[in-house]
Structure 1
């Protein structure tokens, strides 16, 4: 990185943080602390309002903002693709903002960079899922949830718990919404549930009658959505054998419960961990005779019973 690029990068680092030490900048840009001191002097002489506090570090004067001066084609593609993802996956309000963001980014790109970015984007495409009932409800709930999180208010909703295509139970929940996570194509709410008195996860597509309550809440000081990892309580082990003809399709299915694949002379062995056998019963049945349950015996028995029901019906 040449000095001009480093000076710009230092200003951008300072914009993103309140205070940063010279040692941190030296490590970030792989240079010496003495070089950082010289860079700070150069920025000050260029009228960038840098404040240096002995023993604390450097910061920018409040209110100073340096907009990005230029984008490379790769940076432009990254931003434009991100805006398109927001259009497809977030609620309509953010879709409108994503469209205006794309227009602003494209407007400031030099013609050569814009043309190069367009060529790259022409080779990429995001497909929207069909607008099923679950997808529509997901987007509606997201807008209400985001407002509740801004207001720091608990929410109430009806939740349908399913196992495969079968409705298992419905319940009414009151929760403190902590954040949203996009997992395997579906939006999940991470929330503190009053009923279970613990953090739980809820699919937005299974929530109905969502409303904001008058009860407020505060995020626990030690909770960080980025670092949060749910407790893994999948204690039941399952081993399946897939015929060689469908091995690739099974790999591509990429369901949450799969732990490992192993190649065997007779086909592809699939190792899974689940909470209940019902978690994967209908997924196993969907492969018909091309997948064999090796263990446990309880799952083999369930598959046999379901097969007998199908035989009786047809």
Structure 2
């Protein structure tokens, strides 16, 4: 397992270096860098090509990538690399909270769910809502496990609606011998594409915000949403536009920014921001 992780990490780093500096590196450079022989590097390039990446060694011209890497390939490579390399030295609060709450049961919960996702089997689980003490039985069609707002979560269909469930609050899981038709990756992408933080809903709200100085310099380089539009104004401000599935999440975020962030639309978001700010002030009266 350790050798496999080392290989995946090395191949991804070779890919990253070639993308950053096309033609700069020879096979010999990577031999020296990673402490392996030339056959290993050649096998690495071959395996990367098997993933649909046109990476080739052209002798003294160095190693180059001759065509654009498909988005789906990037989506497969990046989480894999993060899981192996980045998590070794970073603080994963969601995982730590998950383990703290469930202990060894965290592994059985995670693996049972993922196996049902892979095989498209329904699951029966006992689930306790975060704000309630009642434990309820749920029959779900599990679609994917994801991390959001410091927790591991399950995206699943329940009684015809797509919902999310905190893995920390799952009491028991049972695989049912009943299969279901999974939703497509495109549908999953659309669900997450309008989530400002972790709320997953069917509503869609077009939001326009105005950021006054000094916020424009801070906001222009940032990618808050997958689909967003930023327009610079003559007065030094910027207009930020996006689509979200929850006004509550973005309202709280706007209030937390303080002065200089103005809601242009929708009107319902303006009212919600004002109410949220008043509620915060009332805590100190």
TM-score by length of 2: 0.52
Distance, in Å, in 1 between the alignment partners of 2:113 and 2:273 is 39
The alpha carbon displacement at 1:134 in A equals: 4.3
Q: Which deviations, in whole Å up to 9, do the C-alpha atoms of 1:5-40 show, x marking residues without a partner?
A: xxxxxxxxxxxxxxxxxxxxxxxxxxxxxxxxxxxx
Match of 2:259 among 286, 289, 297: 289
Q: Which deviations, in whole Å up to 9, do the C-alpha atoms of 1:217-269 show, x marking residues without a partner?
A: 2142xx46545444674432221111232235435654448632211234121
* Larger of the two Rg values belongs to structure: 1
| Secondary structure of residue in 1 paired with 2:179 | coil
Q: Which deviations, in whole Å up to 9, do the C-alpha atoms of 1:43-80 show, x marking residues without a partner?
A: xxxxxxxxxxxxxxxxxxxxxxxxxxxxxx99862357
* Alignment check: 8 A CA contact 1:157 1:174 kept: no
Determine the structure 1 residue equivalent to 2:238: 268
TM alignment of 1:85-100, pairs within 5 A: none
Mean alpha-carbon deviation: is it higher for 180-189 or for 241-250?
Answer: 180-189
Determine the structure 1 residue equivalent to 2:176: 215
Distance, in Å, in 2 between the alignment partners of 1:214 and 1:276 is 32
The alpha carbon displacement at 1:274 in A equals: 2.9
Matched, 1:128 2:90: yes
Distance, in Å, in 1 between the alignment partners of 2:97 and 2:174 is 23
Query: Residue 274 and residue 227 in structure 1: after superposition, are their counterparts in 2 closer, same or farther (change >3 A)?
Result: closer
Matched, 1:299 2:277: no
The alpha carbon displacement at 1:291 in A equals: 0.9
The alpha carbon displacement at 1:175 in A equals: 0.5
Match of 1:259 among 205, 215, 228: 228
| RMSD of Structure 2 on Structure 1 (CA) | 4.5
Q: Which deviations, in whole Å up to 9, do the C-alpha atoms of 1:101-126 show, x marking residues without a partner?
A: xxxxxxxxx9974541379x9xx855
Distance, in Å, in 2 between the alignment partners of 1:251 and 1:204 is 33
| Secondary structure of residue in 1 paired with 2:91 | coil
TM alignment of 1:50-61, pairs within 5 A: none
Query: Residue 79 and residue 258 in structure 1: after superposition, are their counterparts in 2 closer, same or farther (change >3 A)?
Result: closer
| Secondary structure of residue in 2 paired with 1:217 | strand
Query: Residue 235 and residue 150 in structure 1: after superposition, are their counterparts in 2 closer, same or farther (change >3 A)?
Result: closer
Distance, in Å, in 2 between the alignment partners of 1:242 and 1:135 is 37
Distance, in Å, in 2 between the alignment partners of 1:156 and 1:302 is 36
* Alignment check: 8 A CA contact 1:239 1:271 kept: yes
Distance, in Å, in 2 between the alignment partners of 1:170 and 1:237 is 36
Query: Residue 270 and residue 228 in structure 1: after superposition, are their counterparts in 2 closer, same or farther (change >3 A)?
Result: same
Determine the structure 2 residue equivalent to 1:246: 215
| Secondary structure of residue in 2 paired with 1:284 | helix
Determine the structure 2 residue equivalent to 1:107: none
| Secondary structure of residue in 1 paired with 2:93 | coil
TM-score by length of 1: 0.48
* Alignment check: 8 A CA contact 1:76 1:117 kept: no
| Secondary structure of residue in 1 paired with 2:169 | strand
Distance, in Å, in 1 between the alignment partners of 2:90 and 2:14 is 14
Match of 2:111 among 121, 129, 143: 143
Distance, in Å, in 2 between the alignment partners of 1:278 and 1:125 is 32
Distance, in Å, in 2 between the alignment partners of 1:239 and 1:313 is 29
Distance, in Å, in 1 between the alignment partners of 2:134 and 2:262 is 32
Determine the structure 2 residue equivalent to 1:178: 143
Determine the structure 2 residue equivalent to 1:77: 10
Query: Residue 158 and residue 256 in structure 1: after superposition, are their counterparts in 2 closer, same or farther (change >3 A)?
Result: farther
Aligned residues: 201
The alpha carbon displacement at 1:171 in A equals: 8.2
Distance, in Å, in 2 between the alignment partners of 1:186 and 1:311 is 29
